[in-house]
Amino acid sequence: MTETRRICLLPGDGIGPEITAEAVKVLRVIGEREVMTFEFNEALLGGIAIDETGTPLPEETLAKAHAADAVLLAAIGGPKWDTTDPDKPRPEQGLLGIRKGLGLYANLRPVKIFDALRDASSLKPEFLEGVDMLIVRELTGGLYFGSRARETDVPGAATGGGEGMRAYDTMEYREYEIERIVRVAFDAARTRGKLVHSVDKANVLESSRLWREVAHRVAQEYPDVEVVDQLVDNTAMQLIRRPAQFDVIVTENMFGDILSDEASMLTGSLGMLASASLGDGTALYEPSHGSAPDIAGQRVANPLAMLLSVELMLRYSFDMHAAADRLAAAIEAVLAEGWRTRDIADTSTLPQKMVGTSAMGDLVVEELG
Ligand code: NAD
């Protein structure tokens, strides 16, 4: 008997529907091979949801997301809905709303160098040998969610000693918040290189000292995984100096925000970066790029970040590691054969085999056999 997995699709705006079509195409083929039925349920999010319902995250969308086994989101937003009027709905509110609604506290971003795209990186190719890391960022705590305020008329706050303004943000972590995210990192490391860098600023911050204490406690449950404590400033440097030393990096919200953007640039191509956001219920998968309104409708968008998001979904929501490996290998093979969408074409090594969105999806399907 075939099993069924329900996927809530959120194509969103811009190139979103184009790359979603490729994901569905690839999942159908994988489903046939794996004797697994993928059931798709589409819902509205972002600009299109504003147009059709007046709100960026309709209740029906959140209900469909909760009811699914996984959510696959393409991208939202575009100039049509850009507004500075605080009373008007914005597509981004839909994105934040669905992350909050699903209780997604862990953001996973793999950074992998595809051999065929090595020249796209701003680092010299010899530094990129063996780079394959996963950044696990805490997503619902820390400085971005702690108490904050701006005060006026504070004595001595103005230049020259008069009354002026003062603002503060607080980096707060509760034990359980650290424990659950560190666990995500150790579980992931078990399926990869069995090494976790726990990144903090324990030489200065109390929240980091708690982070380190809890990380060490959790580490005892994973004797097969090596754990290394690293200060965040050192990590920022090591990512550029010797990125291949990392397997899994786990860190708090703001450190992770900055480090994951730094690390993503090792690949040099936005169209190749996927992400997973996990909580205790339905997880959400999405490419790191936006809705690319400048090329929407031209059928030239790169669908690979979306397909790499599908790979993460197979791994983390469906435990289909062999199928995920096959998809990753298929993408690698297509690139190795020289096939490129416009955004990853290297004009210095022409001729290359340029294709559009749909043809790139077809090539991956062909490789999957
Ligand atoms: P963007 O990522 O959409 O585009 C940046 C550049 O990269 C553009 O030149 C675009 O054409 C190109 N690009 C992006 N993805 C591509 C792909 N798959 N294939 C080929 N080229 C690709 O970022 P932006 O231009 O700053 O933002 C555009 C809109 O997307 C804005 O409304 C923004 O708010 C929104 N956005 C949404 C998300 C999300 O849905 N998670 C993330 C970032 C930005």
**What is the predicted pLDDT for the residue at 126?**
87
Q: Are residues 295 and 225 in the same domain?
A: no
Taking residue 8's Cβ as centre, other Cβ atoms within 10 Å add up to 26
154: left (phi over 0), alpha (psi -120 to 50) or beta: beta
Nearest to 187 by CA among 224, 237, 217, 138: 224
DSSP single-letter state for residue 116: G
Q: Is the dihedral of CA 313, 316, 317, 319 positive or negative?
A: positive
Domain count along the chain:
2
- Does 293 contact ligand 1 (Cβ within 6 A)? yes
The answer to whether 72 and 27 have CB atoms below 8 angstroms apart is: no
**What is the predicted pLDDT for the residue at 350?**
53
For residue 108, list its beta bridge partners.
136, 276
Which residue matches tokens 């409708």? 297
**What is the predicted pLDDT for the residue at 203?**
98
* Strands 36-42, 3-12: pairing kind: parallel
- Does 271 contact ligand 1 (Cβ within 6 A)? yes
Q: State the closest ligand 1 atom to the C-alpha of 292, by its place in the atom list counted from 1.
A: 3
pLDDT tens-digit map of 39-98: 999 999 999 999 999 999 999 999 999 999 999 999 999 999 998 887 899 999 999 899
Q: Are residues 115 and 23 in the same domain?
A: yes
Flag whether pLDDT at 2 surpasses 80.
no
Q: Are residues 312 and 342 in the same domain?
A: yes
Question: Of 267, 293, 320, at which residue does a domain stop?
Answer: 267
Q: Ligand 1 centroid to 295 CA: how many Å?
A: 9
For residue 73, list its beta bridge partners.
10
Taking residue 366's Cβ as centre, other Cβ atoms within 10 Å add up to 12
Taking residue 195's Cβ as centre, other Cβ atoms within 10 Å add up to 16
The answer to whether 315 and 191 have CB atoms below 8 angstroms apart is: yes
**What is the predicted pLDDT for the residue at 11?**
98
- Does 356 contact ligand 1 (Cβ within 6 A)? no
**What is the predicted pLDDT for the residue at 261?**
87
Q: Ligand 1 centroid to 95 CA: how many Å?
A: 14
Which of the two residues, 35 and 210, has the higher pLDDT score?
210
DSSP single-letter state for residue 59: H
Q: Are residues 14 and 58 in the same domain?
A: yes
Q: State the closest ligand 1 atom to the C-alpha of 74, by its place in the atom list counted from 1.
A: 40
- Does 292 contact ligand 1 (Cβ within 6 A)? yes
The Cα–Cα gap between 38 and 31 comes to 6
pLDDT tens-digit map of 103-156: 999 999 999 988 888 877 888 888 899 999 999 999 999 998 899 999 999 999
For residue 340, list its beta bridge partners.
354
Q: Are residues 219 and 310 in the same domain?
A: no
Q: Ligand 1 centroid to 292 CA: how many Å?
A: 4
Mention every residue, 6+ apart, whose C-beta is less than 8 A from residue 264: 109, 111, 270, 273, 288
**What is the predicted pLDDT for the residue at 351?**
57
- Does 76 contact ligand 1 (Cβ within 6 A)? yes
The Cα–Cα gap between 337 and 341 comes to 13
Local confidence band at 171 (pLDDT 50, 70, 90 cut-offs): very high
Q: Are residues 314 and 222 in the same domain?
A: no
Q: Are residues 94 and 22 in the same domain?
A: yes
Q: Are residues 275 and 364 in the same domain?
A: yes
Q: State the closest ligand 1 atom to the C-alpha of 287, by its place in the atom list counted from 1.
A: 41
The Cα–Cα gap between 76 and 141 comes to 24
Q: What is the mean pLDDT of residues 227-248?
A: 97
Q: Tell me which residues are annotated as active site.
A: 144, 201, 233, 257, 261
Q: Ligand 1 centroid to 289 CA: how many Å?
A: 5
**What is the predicted pLDDT for the residue at 270?**
79
Local confidence band at 274 (pLDDT 50, 70, 90 cut-offs): very high
Q: Are residues 185 and 301 in the same domain?
A: no
Q: Are residues 132 and 219 in the same domain?
A: yes
- Does 343 contact ligand 1 (Cβ within 6 A)? yes
- How far CA 320 is from CA of 125, 266, 299, 325, in Å, comes to 32, 28, 30, 9
Q: What is the CATH number of the domain that holds 189?
A: 3.40.718.10
**What is the predicted pLDDT for the residue at 293?**
97
Local confidence band at 212 (pLDDT 50, 70, 90 cut-offs): very high
Alpha carbon 82 to chain centroid distance?
23
Which residue matches tokens 């490419």? 287
The answer to whether 91 and 16 have CB atoms below 8 angstroms apart is: no
**What is the predicted pLDDT for the residue at 348?**
63
Query: Which of 264, 270, 341 has most ligand 1 atoms within 8 Å of CB, for mutation?
Result: 270
The Cα–Cα gap between 93 and 49 comes to 11
Query: In this structure, what are the phi and psi dihedrals at residue 191, rounded to the nearest 5 degrees?
Result: -90, 5
Q: Ligand 1 centroid to 213 CA: how many Å?
A: 39
Question: Of 221, 251, 267, at which residue does a domain stop?
Answer: 267
Average pLDDT of the chain, as a whole number: 94
Local confidence band at 345 (pLDDT 50, 70, 90 cut-offs): confident
Question: Of 267, 287, 320, at which residue does a domain stop?
Answer: 267
Q: Which domain holds residue 159?
A: 128-267
Which residue matches tokens 């509205």? 44
Q: Are residues 108 and 134 in the same domain?
A: no
The Cα–Cα gap between 185 and 123 comes to 26
- Does 291 contact ligand 1 (Cβ within 6 A)? yes
Q: Are residues 210 and 337 in the same domain?
A: no
pLDDT tens-digit map of 285-342: 999 999 999 999 999 999 999 999 999 999 999 999 999 999 999 999 999 999 999 9
pLDDT tens-digit map of 249-268: 999 999 999 999 899 889 87
Q: Ligand 1 centroid to 106 CA: how many Å?
A: 22
One-letter identity of residue 326: R
**What is the predicted pLDDT for the residue at 335?**
92
